[in-house]
Amino acid sequence: MAWPLVLKPLSLPVIGAPLFIISNPDLVIAQCTSGVIGAFPALNARPKEMLDAWLARITTALFAYEAAHPGAEVAPFAVNQIIHASNDRLGHDLDLCAAYRVPIIITSLAAPVEIVPRVHAWGGLVFHDVISLRHARKAIEAGVDGLILVCAGAGGHAGTLSPFAFVAEVRKIWQGPIALAGAIATGQAVLAARAIGADLAYVGTRFIATDEANADQRYKAMIVASEAADILYTPYFTGVAGNYLRRSVAEAGLDPDHLPDRDKMAMSFESAKATQAVKAWRDIFGAGQGVAAIDDVLPAAEVIARMRREYLAAKDELCRAP
């Protein structure tokens, strides 16, 4: 497929996925200056007036890095907007993104029907994340530039489809950019995403275990110590099914194996609303099955450099395989 110009200078076909509370300007700058797309949820800049300072900091830092390193692969950055009734900052946040001409807007939940023309007006791209073919169709109808397929095992709110099934069926109706999400934490897995028809890997949990991530040491250590079986998939905490570290649930005083049914609980992103005495995302740690491949906490640049080495070595090995 023809890549939109804005996606070209990547050192590795990766988007550092937006992570509630965790993504911050330091992480985004480290990702972009290492050549992968960095992203953060607009809601992480609190109060909302802080978003201006975050955007100023990121754009200035990337510009300065490019000026100091001619020829470096500095990737564009993305801001994640949650399209949901509980997000009453959306208008304010989008106005600021327009002022800074943010290169990529990642939308979650409702199809970004009204957002697409606004973002295109300033020359930006809209990527929308989906967990089903029905949602992919709606996003395509809304005119998005890219789809993010959130598959089984992804950290935070996640789907249940196998990436093999989901990419194949979306490829029948969509030839544009696809980013694939779900337990991708190594360069080999990035290559596998490309092999099955995605253009980019969407990597979240791996970046929680970095020096820059705004997560406490207990959270990072739990990711390093966990295996895929330590991940719990439940709608209990936010009303939408997601993946969390079982141990954080137990340490918050709940029994991960006996959570009451809460299928249709009201959702609130703005306040990360408490379901009981504990707060999803703050006390209950979101993480995907990719924890199995994460054994250390490193600077984000080192994580990306290692993934790139793994990606190139795996590609080389496969090319030489009979």
CB of 21 to ligand FMN, least distance (A): 7
What does the block give as tokens for 192?
Answer: 């596998």
Please say which residue, 35 or 204, places its beta carbon nearer to ligand FMN: 204
What strand order describes the sheet that includes 14-16?
14-16, 200-203, 178-181, 146-150, 125-130, 104-109, 77-83, 38-41
Residue 32 and residue 40 in contact, taking contact as beta carbons nearer than 8 Å: no
Q: Which residues bind ligand FMN (CB under 6 A)?
A: 17-20, 22, 41, 80, 108, 129, 150, 154-156, 181-184, 202-205, 286-288, 290
CB of 20 to ligand FMN, least distance (A): 3
Q: Choose among 163, 176, 254: nearest CA to 244.
A: 254
Q: How far is CA 3 from the centre of its chain?
A: 20
Q: Choose among 36, 16, 58, 43: nearest CA to 207.
A: 16
- Residue sitting closest to ligand FMN (CB): 204
Please say which residue, 100 or 127, places its beta carbon nearer to ligand FMN: 127
Please say which residue, 66 or 270, places its beta carbon nearer to ligand FMN: 270
Please say which residue, 66 or 310, places its beta carbon nearer to ligand FMN: 310
Residue in the structure block whose two tokens are 């009979």: 322
Please say which residue, 33 or 108, places its beta carbon nearer to ligand FMN: 108
CB of 66 to ligand FMN, least distance (A): 26
CB of 267 to ligand FMN, least distance (A): 12
Please say which residue, 129 or 212, places its beta carbon nearer to ligand FMN: 129
Pairing of strands 77-83, 104-109: parallel
Residue 156 and residue 19 in contact, taking contact as beta carbons nearer than 8 Å: yes
CB of 215 to ligand FMN, least distance (A): 8
CB of 70 to ligand FMN, least distance (A): 32
Please say which residue, 103 or 155, places its beta carbon nearer to ligand FMN: 155
Please say which residue, 146 or 288, places its beta carbon nearer to ligand FMN: 288
- Per-residue burial over 62-97, b if 16 or more Cβ lie within 10 Å, else e, is beeebeeeeeebbbbbbbbbbbbeebebbeebbebb
CB of 124 to ligand FMN, least distance (A): 17
CB of 319 to ligand FMN, least distance (A): 26
